[in-house]
Amino acid sequence: MKDFFKTVLAVICGILILQLVGFIFLMGFIGSAASSGSKVVLPRSGVLDINLSDYTLAEQSQEMPSSGSLLSGSFAMGRSVGIWDAVQAIEAAAADPAIRYIFLRPDGGEMAGMAALEELRTALQNFRQSGKAVVAYTEMPGNGSYYLATAADKIYMSSYHGATYTLLGLTSQQFFLKDILDKLGVNVQLIRHGKYKSAGEMFVRSGSSADNREQYQSMINSAWKAYSGAISAAREIPEDQFNALVDNLALNFPEDFLKNGLVDELMDREALIQKLCTLAQVSTREELHLVALPDYVTARVNAFPGRTNVAILFADGEIVDGKGPGLAADSFVLEVDALRKDPSVKAVVLRVNSPGGSVMASEKIRSALDLLGSEKPLVASYGDYAASGGYWISSGCSRIFADATTLTGSIGVFSMIPDFSKVAGKLGVGVESVSSNKHSDVLSLMRPFSADELAYMQASVEDIYERFVSLVSTSRGMETTAVDAIAQGRVWAGNDALGIGLVDEIGTLKDAVAYAASQAGLMSPEDYRVVTSPAVPGMLDNLLSLISTAGQEPTVLSGTPMESMERSLKGLLKDNRPTGVFARMPYCMEIR
């Protein structure tokens, strides 16, 4: 028995020692990674390398571990580069004598948002005005990556066969769950205002309504028009000719791209290296110093606050109640108040990348922003989305900048409450409510609404819709009837939103910062520094978050087009908040 206890004690001690050693190793890794990330030594002469297959283009820069690497034990670090940091780095490179030119590898750009690609492309075009070149190399051009490549002076393409090209035009899929919910016995009760407010349609229809189909087709057409127009102008070919190539599947082999003037030369890897060396005026690849964009951001982008600042306030993500990261109302309001009270902050740019969310949370954020705007210049810059609640919180800004491909508007409201009584019956579960009043169990999710209860919920939705329209009417200087005519929950692309008065200008985040600064009397970039808020989670925070979720297994639908349907169904069946009224887009559209 004594030997048994000795053995058990030895095993326990061994486990504790291993855990301690692992923790020390982990902390050492984090420390070394953090310290190495802040010390970047740039060569005396080099080439700025923008390789979108190595990192993600996002709203804010962030360093985080790769989940696959973490599970395998290698602890590799990934990184997202914020669009502001990327643009600032490109601008700095234009004035930096150590940077000879930009080497752009756009493959992987499809993972970035359309608006982010639009802003990066504009920055690359501005870089060329310095007299330095942008050289692009693509192996598998797609819609977004090729659009970005056309900002370059020259586009080189891999001569290897076997790649799959996805330069086929834009598409977005919608999934409809009514039939499967009927089989499960789930009755979804949708209350909404706006014939285009398609949020919830996927739960109550087997296919798209005519109005919803109309708005989606209009958005796709507008976004593709922005892409195809820019591509055609850059490559100096008629737009209808370019669309004919796409429609007729005429871009199947590298030679097709060359023959039709979409690339300048085909080459293998060795020829590419020689070309890059020649452009950099060096003899060997060892002398060719490629400076990765994230490293250049670390070394050159000035993020230190000064006495006079213009702040970029990132409103990124779904608008939710309570506290937390992203657009959790109670926490975000504190960020807004801090900027309002900070005497060094002279103007604020609200950078919106949100499909909306909770009405109550939107109200709280809008109220805090209105107070900020009454004391300091406050302008808005729209990213991929600024719709529904995202438009609610920002329409009061003194000027609104959007990208051509931004999805905005969606001025509408909905509430959605499922009834699981049939599910319970199929499972043989009896449900009996004991209530103090006639309608006490209306939100129990275990019975359908009566006519009176449905009218009660509809009245709440109508009141909030009128509030939304009134806010936009006052903020944008439009008659309520005019707002209602372009509202009804309809989502608009940025170019179209400009024509109907929802935004003031098609412009980048940089344009919005310059305008906000000018409203504060800061006419030159030398007069101020740009600071960002809120702070992004640190590398340790991201690592610990990843560790906490590392044990979650992917499902059979993970990584497939059906994954979004799975998330929607889980949200309805598991995480539904029956008392919520939402100003939100149908879901985050992925246009590919």
Q: Read out DSSP for 263-305?
A: -SEEE-HHHHHHHHHHHHT-SSGGG--EEEHHHHHHHH-----
Give the alpha-carbon dihedral of 506, 508, 512, 513, to 10 degrees: -170
User: H or E stretch including 421?
Assistant: helix 421-426
Dist. CA 195–CA 487, nearest whole Å = 9
Distances from the Cα of 374 to the Cαs of 352, 369, 377, 410, in angstroms? 19, 9, 8, 26
CB 337 within 8 A of CB 370: no
Positions of the chain with pLDDT under 50: 4-5, 8, 21, 25, 29-30, 32-37, 65-77, 542-560, 562, 574-578
What was the pLDDT predicted at 558? Answer: 45
pLDDT recorded at residue 572: 54
- 10 Å CB burial of residue 339 (0-12, 13-18, 19+) is buried
- pLDDT of amino acid 581: 65
- Tokens representing 59 are 């709203």
The string of pLDDT tens digits covering residues 22-49 is 555 455 544 544 444 456 788 999 999 9
**What pLDDT is recorded for position 117?**
95
- What was the pLDDT predicted at 527? 92
Measured distance CA(350)–CA(213) in Å, rounded: 31
**What pLDDT is recorded for position 545?**
47
CA distances from 456 to 2, 195, 413, 449, 584 (A): 73, 20, 15, 10, 21
- The token pair at 69 is 């690497």
In whole angstroms, what separates CA 326 from the centre of its chain? 12
Beta-carbon-side half-sphere exposure of residue 521 (alpha carbons within 13 Å)? 4
The predicted pLDDT at position 183 comes to 87
Helix (H) or strand (E) holding 155: strand 154-158
Chain centroid offset of residue 126 CA? 23
Q: pTM for the whole thing? A: 0.84
* 8 Å CB contact between 48 and 293: yes
Tell me how crowded residue 156 is: count the other CB atoms within 10 A of its CB.
Answer: 20
> At residue 465, what is the residue type?
Y
**Pairing verdict, β 187-193 and 290-292:** unpaired
Question: Among 145, 136, 59, which Cα is nearest to 110's?
Answer: 145
Give residue-wise pLDDT tens across range 485-534.
999 989 999 999 999 999 999 999 999 999 999 999 999 988 999 999 99
Residues belonging to the active site = 197, 388
Give the torsion sign (CA, 528, 404, 119, 372): positive
